[in-house]
Every structure is written in structure tokens, then in C-alpha cells.
Amino acid sequence: MQLWNKGYEPDKMIEEFTVGNDRELDMRLARYDVQGSMAHIRMLHKIGLLEEEELTKLLAELQNILGEIEREEFTIRPGVEDVHSQVEFLLTERLGEIGKKIHSGRSRNDQVLVDLKLMLRDELREIAYSANTLFTRLQQLSEEYKDVLMPGYTHLQVAMPSSFGLWFGAYAEALVDDLQIVAAAYRIANQNPLGSAAGYGSSFPLDRQMTTDLLGFDTMHYNVVAAQMSRGKTERAVAMAIEAIASTVGHFAMDVCLWMCSNFGFVRFPDEFTTGSSIMPHKKNPDVFEIMRGKCNRLQSIPNEIALLTANLPLGYNRDLQLLKDIIFPATLEIRQCLEMCHFMLGHIIINTDIISDSKYDYLFTVEDVNRLALSGTPFREAYRQIGMQVQHGEYTPHREVNHTHQGSIGNLCNDKIAEKMRKVMQTFAC
């Protein structure tokens, strides 16, 4: 059953290849397809293409279908091509001829576009909320452990004193930057393509501002060709937003895997949050963070996958674009899963509060002692030489004092300022 049926059936092998798993993926779009149709028919009534009684019946039945979707009773029947076809066929089956009127002034091209925009707008909002929840946890841990020192590294060599407050706080602020990219993707998604039809508009006197307002879009894609060109561009923007968060979370997961290693021993988790080995009785593995790292590494590939899929397409709709769903739909769920699992695990993290008393970390304090001499009047280069010679001859004894006061340093984390940055970014996603 195809909306484009002209009296012949396509070859079964052709149909299976072109439809693929679109029916399953389209279930994610079902509620948005109904919402888009409800806005569209209200507009059709306004411009005189639907009678008042027809609108009332259609809206009531669309509301019934929406209820079926919410109760998980809605299915796309075998032989029905996609969610758009299923909704229209249900209306026609239940209401007769008036069900056939809802497609006036639109194409499946702008229909799927509006569904995708609505869905991706919601998904980006949920991703932002999940990231903000993790941000809050990181800030809480930053404040709780702001006075607990830990080694800082460059080139994976002991470098300078850091703190758990600084470490947790760093990833919190990194998420703020990531959400700036999520906010940009949200603004791209939050534009109405409905009314662009197959990409070249319609001879019906459509009121596109009305559907923009009804669907809560910030604005519309005004140029109808540009609206169709946004298929692929929107998904790529969303993929870049997901990539940004995945990079941060994946980096943090790597840190945790390293810090849990017995050679470091900076953090640990209760036994029930780790996994074991089939032959080594002592093992307590960081499998959660390894899986998280792997998922986040994989998610960072999706902008490139979308770029390769869309790079050489000619102007207008092309069926290749259908394959974007295979890439972006699972990604939105997976990044939220990673964010939520990271938040959950950090609620149970156990910090080693006495790391730097170990003599192997003595050299952490060389820069502190160079600066201490410089502050007392010794030229910096001479202070550097003095401490360097002590290290070279095995005569260095650290003072183990850290006095960092400038903004963003160990003693002045500025978590309140970072929280304010996040608050401003999150305003983008307010309903």
C-alpha cells in the first residue's frame, strides 16, 4: 500500500530493498507525524480546503491515533510503506473520503522533514537535560573534593599538583561548551519546513506562518528549496552536537579507567559496580567506563558518516536521505544512555584522599617551589636552575604547599561562574 500507487505494484524485491527497515524506524516519528498533520489540517481549514465538520472529525480521529501511539497500540501494517501512509490509511479507513484530503498542499518530502525536525528538537532537548544533570553531579563532586589534591600529568608524566575539584570541574565546564553546539543544532532543527511540499512549493494559498506557530517553531525555512536542502544538514548538525558530548564523556571515561588502575589507584567503585575475570579472582574491571568509552568513540564517527552519505547528492530530494535515520536515530538514544550511566556511576565513586603523600609524587611540587623562590625575589630563571639542580642531584625535598588563588585554579574554582554559563545555555531549550 503506497500513497503514490497508480494501479501497479512494484516488484517485491525492489520494495523490500528501498523500504529497508524504515517501518521500524518510523515508529519513532509516529507521534510527530500526527502532530504535523493536526497543524496542517487546521491550516487547510483556514484557507478553505476543509469544512468545519471535516476538520472536527479529522482532529478527533488524529487525537485517537495519537492516543494509540502513546499506549503503544499503533503499528505500521505489513505492506504499508511508512508512518505517513499508515496514518492516512487509518483516517481513510475510519472516516472515508475526508481522510484523503489531509495530503493537500504537502508532499511526503516536507511531511517527513517536519516529523524529523520535531523529533530532533525533542531529542536535543532531552540530550541537553541529561548533560545538564551530569554537569550538576560533576559540580557537586568538584565542590566536595576541591581540597583533595591529586597528581596532574602532561605526556602521562607527573607534572604539577591538581585536585579532584579541578578535575571534576574541568569536565563540567567542558559540557557547557558542548551544549553550545547542542544549542546551535537545536536552533537549526527548530525551523518549519512544512509547506515546501516536494521542494518547490504549492499552488495552494498555504499559510506557513500558521503551521510554524501551531508547531512551536522559532521560525520557518522560508525558501522552499532551502527547506528541502535542510534534510541531511539538520542531521549533520545534530551529529556534531552528539560528537562534541561524546568526545567529552569518552575522555572522562578514559580518565576513570586509568585512575581505577592499581598503578594509579585514585578512584574506585563498590564491587557491585565492577566486573570480574573468569580466571583471575582479584580482578575488578571498569567495564562500564570501557563500554562508555567505546560507545562515545563510535558516536564521534557519525558526522563523517552523514557527510559521506550526503556529499555528492544533486539538488532536491533523493532516496539516499532515507538512510540518515539508520545513523541518527540510534545515536540520539546512545548518547543519552552514556550521559545517564555516567551520572549514575559518579553517584557511587570513591575518592582516594591521600594520594600525594606517596614519595613518588614529590616532583609534583617543583614548580611550586620555583614560584615560591621567585615570589621571594629570586629571578625566575635562577629559581628554576636551583630547583632543577636539586632534582638532578637527588637533593630535592618538596614543601608540599599549594597556594593557587587566580580564577579557575585549584584554590578558586569559579564553579558558580561556570554554573551561570550553563544556566544561560540551558535557556535555549526552555519550552
- The pLDDT confidence band at residue 14, using thresholds 50, 70 and 90, is low
Once rounded to an integer, what is the mean pLDDT over residues 31-46? 97
The CATH classification of domain 108-356+406-429, taken from the options 1.10.357.10, 1.20.200.10, 1.10.287.1080, 1.10.8.100: 1.20.200.10
d(CA 402, CA 163): 10
- 135-162 pLDDT, tens digit each: 999 999 999 999 999 999 999 999 899 9
- Predicted pLDDT of residue 225: 95
Domain ranges in the chain?
12-101, 108-356+406-429, 359-392
Mean pLDDT over each residue of the chain, to the nearest integer: 92
Q: Phi and psi for 285 in degrees, rounded to 5?
A: -90, 145
Sign, CA dihedral 222-226-229-233, equals negative
pTM of the model: 0.91
Q: Which residues pair with 102 in a beta bridge?
A: none
Q: Point out the least confidently predicted range of 6-15, 181-190, 338-347.
A: 6-15
- 210-222 pLDDT, tens digit each: 999 999 999 999 9
C-alpha cell at 42: 487546521
- Predicted pLDDT of residue 84: 92
d(CA 332, CA 431): 19
Three-state DSSP at 152 gives strand
What's the maximum distance between 2 C-alpha atoms anywhere in the chain? 94
- 314-327 pLDDT, tens digit each: 888 888 888 999 99
- The pLDDT confidence band at residue 4, using thresholds 50, 70 and 90, is very low
Q: Point out the least confidently predicted range of 134-148, 272-286, 369-383.
A: 272-286
243-252, 267-276, 366-375, 394-403, range with greatest mean pLDDT: 243-252
C-alpha cell at 257: 579507567
CATH number, span 12-101: 1.10.275.10
